Structure 1
Amino acid sequence: MKIHIVTLFPGIVEGFFNNSIMKRAVESGTISFDVIDFRSFASDRHHTCDDAPFGGGAGMVIKCEPLCAALDSIGAKGKRVVYPSPSGRKFTQQYAEDLSKEEELVFVCGHYEGIDQRVIDLYVDDEICIGDYVISSGEVASLVIVDAVYRLIGGVISNESLDEESFSDGLLEYPQYTRPETYCSKRVPDVLLSGHHANIGQWRLQKRLEKTLSYRPDLLETTSLDANSRKVLNELKEHSAKGTVDDGRN
């Protein structure tokens, strides 16, 4: 996959592609990227990229001309263009999986009060909201989406790791532990030290259901559960009503 980032602040995003798992994906050729500073496409001597909004109001709006010129320079109309925005569609794991199937993605990074609507009308395929809050940097929002997407591409992360993550099947992930066995008087649950894979699997299922029930009960309304998972969930609800939950330490 090739990822294009169209931005006023290239320094915010460049480091992301040169570190950690992304760096390995770039070095292996699984991912390639370019960062386009659309300020360099402004035609006036001050390289102006924003102006006051028509109709009045606070803040500034990113202008059409430099941003459209930058998008034209990479042939954006023939690619899938993503614009992170609080007024877009909600971003989900399923959405990330859809985007991961593309050969190229273009990310338009907004700032201030956003970008001129005509840029969205002419170029943008996906206006995406990463959450019900507002941030000032379209670069940060774009990198959230990039991070969720690129790791789903074959060869970046093992399928086993992806299968057990939060949202992979509609549930949140179970707790993780590593050495030492005891830290600050807190001990790893005994079941994880038992070597009994069936019991470990059942404990992990219980913890996934328990966490989802506690933090994101809305997910359980749309998640398809097998008979065993449904049984465990019903038991958790009963234990919760009684104020008792098995922590796997016995």
Structure 2
Amino acid sequence: MRSRVSAEEWAAREDLAACYRLAAHYRMTDMIYNHISLRVPGHDDQFLINHFGLLYEEVSASNLVKVDFDGNPVEDDPLDVNPAGFVIHSAIHKARHDLHCVFHTHTRAGVAVSAQEEGLLAISQHSMRFYNRVSYHGYEGIALDLDERERLVKNLGKNNVLILRNHGLLTAGPTVRSAFEEMYYLEMACQIQLDATSRNAPLVHPPQEVCEHAAIQFAKSNEFIKDRDWHALRRMLDRREPSYRE
């Protein structure tokens, strides 16, 4: 595979495979289900996605599948994909050209918060980064109907984070790192919310202006971080499970 793709595509494959392994490491998986997709460098209408049937811990750079917006393999590839994957992911890739990576999960905490009427609460620093920056999409059944794509994109709007009601979480970004970071903190925010609300004790709600200030601070944080967190995570994978690069 490495000899058949560009250097840019291979680097993208390694980044995406790393994201799958990190999702497994942080327990954000649902057996062989869910997907993380990445637009193929230089090809606006193609994206990479996991081969249906592999656990996230088995995903590597070479076994990712390249598909078009209809879920058809771009090349003569014996590996197949889950239709529910390209329905959700292709909708966002097709409508939002600024978002190259799309990350979707069914975690216990994420599904639980998606079923709470108030949605994500601004009660932790982890949740502040999403203040007034998260969208919601009502449950319509398993994501197999193509006409749902239009409504999903409409609900996402200009945000990069979407909570699918009674279903799970979705984040997207211009890079794999950005989509992963959003999902990591969204998942943590959901876990914290469940812990904080589990005893029905009164909650502390910071003032709206403070929440907005914190969200702006988070939006500017990479000016200082400069992807150092992603490089650290990649180093961890290189030590523990370097096979993601294969």
Give the structure, 1 or 2, with the largest relative contact order (CA under 8 Å, sep 6 or more): 2
Structure showing greater radius of gyration is: 1
With the length of structure 2 as denominator, give the TM-score of the two structures.
Answer: 0.30
